[in-house]
A and B are shown apart, each in its own frame.
Chain A
Amino acid sequence: MIAEFGQYALILAFTLSLAQSVLPMIGAQRGIRPWMAFARPGAFAQLGFVGFAFLALVACFVRSDFSVAAVYHYSHSQQPLIYKIAATWGNHEGSLLLWVLILAVFGALVALFGENLPPRLKARALSVQGMISFAFLAFMLFTSNPFDRLSPVPFEGEELNPLLQDPGLALHPPMLYLGYVGFSMTFSFAVAALIEGRVDSAWARWVRPWTLLAWTTLTAGIFLGAHWAYYELGWGGWWTWDPVENASFMPWLIGTALLHCQTVVEKRDALKAWTILLAIIAFGFSLLGTFLVRSGVITSVHAFAQDPARGLFILVILAAALGGSFALFAWRAPSLNPGGLFAPISRESALVLNNLFLAAGTGAVLIGTLYPLALSVITGGSVSVGAPWYIATFVPLMVPMVLLMAIGPLLGWKRGDLPGALQRLAVAGALALLAAGYTFSRETGGSVLAPLGVALGVWLFLGTLVEWTERVKLFRAKPRENWNRARHLPRAAYGMTFAHLGLAIAIVGMTGSSAWKSESVKAMQFGDTVTMGDFTYRFDGIAAVKGVNYLAERATLSVTRDGKPYTVLHPERRRYAVQAMSTSEAAIESSGRGDIYAVIGDRAGPRSWTVRIYHQPLVPWIWLGGLLMALGGVVSLSDRRYRVGVPNRLPIGQVTGA
């Protein structure tokens, strides 16, 4: 019965979203207050219905109700509870339901916290959100119903893919979807603003928390996915430029650009049309990602179902949403009031350049991702666009941007002092070059990329610190004043500092992991040792281990460093009985210098196994950097100025003006 209730709730949500799409929009156009007021309870009710449906599906999984097709295909009675729950969204239908749930959550959040929004803007934004929900609910109900039943009822399920039975991968889709769907809110606000014909700094301030939330969760989701790939796939790779990975990277790049140019709209009332366009494009890339994963038009490790009919449905949604908003843009954007002016050298222009590089980078990734498809459709040829191409095109585009990232925050609004900024960065630049030189001297291959990466990371790190010391007037005022200033800096400033520092650390981590990785692959018998760098590994033995739903071979490797015991590693090879699939679980020991990473492979003989050992320098820095970036986003979000509910108090006697 629960499944039927869930289905009914979805149908209710579907009809409600239709009302939500139409009534507030017409109400805002015609000034019909009750229709506009419908948006708020409508959003709450939407959340209620979709939330109920989602919980119903989770309940079906937890109870192992195999009469529900999704539960049969992706769960098993012996599966650990956490993976029964994670299986809810580990498949096409369930993840769609998660999508729609998050859409509803964001709508409800705007309804809840949007007390201070102008009523028409709120009504229109919630109405657009309702339209998106309507489209996806239609897609779900007509092509991908999670509550489809099976008859006769099977006794046992087929089990979730063992690769997905992992905590990191249980968390990765919800985070990612929070990001993707978060951009739906900025999209709705952008379209609402276009319909209204007015974009101003007040609009930018209202939208900023949503952009920040989407960007932060998307950052977390991407790094989680990369981290999972790193420890699960068995050779320490964390990014393959796979089409679906790119599909999450592109909205992130655009989201970053959007965050930065929104600041210009907010502070200087400029770059309006561009900001609106980016808000539309960011969500457009979310939709593109959905299309690539679920349509079967490109093969990928991440692809769900290969179903052209579903693909066509999503393509129609994508074309309608983006086509409509781009058409609206072409019509309305030219008449948006152009805003504040600024000198060619200023913080605004630095942000413009930042946006340009990010846009060019996104364009490069888009070209690489879609080119094989385009070529196969137009000429029938097939070509692979892999990591070497992206490194040759994307990285050069990002280098000037990172250089600029340290300079931009030091320039003033309206008119900046470039020589002054460069002077203050002189030490940072010198140290960066020194670091590059040192790296180059230690390199054996004469490669340029590693010193470049290190130099950029050092430059950005020190440059960001310089900016903070400027704000706090470190070394130029008394420590007490430094402390006061540091305490009272707006949180958004700290957000920026953390995020930029995080990126710098991540850049160095990425450089280290790509440039200085080393490995040893050896068939080892019990008692054999292998030495890599300072570390010696002794293969002590293999034990049989039984997990909840798998059998494993668990190897023991004693690791000593410079003769002293360092750690013991236990790589495993698991065999999941139901799906007859093996996974290999790497054993990793992290430290500030990097990771040692051991994997047990196939048997190489009657008493020997293939043991692969990798040294992954600086990899933990990547995850630390990502964490810091996400933390920066959270800190920024907590800034009081960006919380929509805080009223703007003015003293009596002051002229009110926008």
Chain B
Amino acid sequence: MMRQILLVPAMLALILAFATASSHPVLADPTIPTVDHPLADPALEARARALMREIRCVVCQSQSIDESNADIATNLRNIVREQLAAGKSAATIRDYLMARYGDFVLLKPPFKPETALLWIGPFALAAICLAAGLAALHINGTIASGSTAPDLSRSERERLNRLLAAGCSEKPQLRQRGQS
């Protein structure tokens, strides 16, 4: 009975020991802001969230700061919120972050000469595919409807006329079994 009573606090102590031994600073100190401070104005907060989804968490793989739990992501989130609340525009905030982290920090790459190919590429590709496809369909279609059939030569035309005049008198050759 005694052992069971002691077991639970011992477990809890063990867990706490593990928990505090992690590499994150303990959150008790309010001057160490690894906690979010959402904005009071819901519309502004919504704008902040939309902007956060475009900013890369620089220590994660392909995550935005909106999704990540990393300390630096929380820090960046609070910075975005502060600057929006101070009236700065989204473009200004993006520039602020790019000045510090480079183009790398935006998940939606800015449109610059270096990224022109990136942005235009898919649409150019789609246009080429579509053009090629439609051209192929058109060619295919015109062949199917016979409008590009070459004209008959004179001798071929005469033979055609003879055949048509003869009607059913010329029996078509039956294919024998075994022949291909």
Are any A and B Cβ atoms less than 8 Å apart in their complex?
A: yes
Which residues in window 29-53 of B have CB below 8 A to A?
Answer: 35-36, 46, 53
A-B contact count (CB 8 A): 156
Contact B109 A383 (CB under 8 A): yes
Interface residues of A (CB under 8 A from B): 234-235, 237, 240-242, 270, 299-301, 341-344, 349, 352-353, 355-357, 359-360, 363-364, 367-368, 371, 375, 379, 381-389, 392-394, 397, 414, 445, 521, 523, 544, 546, 551, 553, 575, 582, 601-606, 610, 655-657
Question: Would you call B122 and A360 a contact (CB within 8 A)?
Answer: yes
Between A and B, 19 residue pairs with Cβ closer than 8 Å are A237-B63, A242-B62, A270-B140, A300-B62, A341-B140, A342-B140, A343-B144, A344-B138, A344-B141, A363-B121, A371-B117, A371-B118, A379-B114, A388-B54, A546-B11, A551-B18, A582-B22, A601-B69, A603-B27
CA distance A600 to B122 in the complex (A): 41
- Residue from the list A344, A389, A575 in contact with B18, Cβ < 8 A: A575
Whether A384 contacts B56 in the complex (CB less than 8 A), given A389-B108, A551-B15, A603-B27, comes out as yes
Q: Is B24 an interface residue (CB 8 A)?
A: yes
**Closest CB in chain A relative to B157 CB, distance in Å:** 24
Binding site for A on B (CB under 8 A): 8, 11-12, 14-15, 18-19, 22, 24, 26-28, 35-36, 46, 53-54, 56, 61-64, 67, 69, 102-109, 114-115, 117-119, 121-123, 125-126, 129-130, 132-133, 136-138, 140-141, 143-145, 175, 177, 180
Bound complex: CA A109 to CA B117 (Å): 44
Q: Tell me which residues across on chain B come within 8 A of A384, comparing CB atoms.
A: 56, 103-107, 109
Q: Which residues of B contact A656 (CB under 8 A)?
A: 177
Residues on B with C-beta less than 8 A from A387 are 53, 62, 64, 107
The 6 closest A-B pairs by CB, nearest first: A386-B107, A364-B122, A388-B108, A341-B144, A344-B141, A360-B126
Cβ–Cβ < 8 Å partners of B180 in chain A: 657
CB contact between A349 and one of B36, B61, B137, B145 (< 8 Å): that residue = B137
Per the bound structure, the CA–CA distance linking A180 and B134 in Å amounts to 31
The reply to whether A383 and B118 form a contact with Cβ atoms under 8 Å apart is: yes
Q: How far is the CA of A400 from the CA of B155 in the complex (A)?
A: 50
A234 touches B35 (CB 8 A): no
B118 contacts A394, C-beta separation under 8 Å: no
Which applies to chain B's interface (DSSP): helix, strand, loop or mixed? helix
A602-B24 contact in complex given A353-B133, A445-B46, A656-B177, C-beta closer than 8 Å: yes
CB distance from A381 to the nearest CB of B (A): 6
Output the residue of A299, A368, A371, A657 with the most chain B CB within 10 A. A371
Contact at A389–B107, with CB atoms within 8 Å? yes
Which residue of chain B has its CB nearest to the CB of A243? B62
Residues of B within 8 A of A241 (CB): 62
Asked if A388 contacts B53 (CB within 8 A), the reply is yes
| A234 CA to B130 CA, complexed, in Å | 41
- Nearest CB on A from B71, distance (A): 11
| Residue pair B114, A605 in contact (C-beta under 8 Å) | no
Kindly list chain A residues whose C-beta atoms are within 8 Å of the C-beta of B136: 352
Q: Which residue from chain A places its CB closest to the CB of B60 in the assembled complex? A: A301
Q: Specify the chain A residue showing the minimal Cβ separation from B20.
A: A603
Cα distance, A240 to B66, chains bound together (Å):
13
**In this complex, which of B12, B27, B63, B118 has the most chain A Cβ atoms within 10 angstroms of its Cβ?**
B118
- Shortest CB distance B39–A (Å): 14
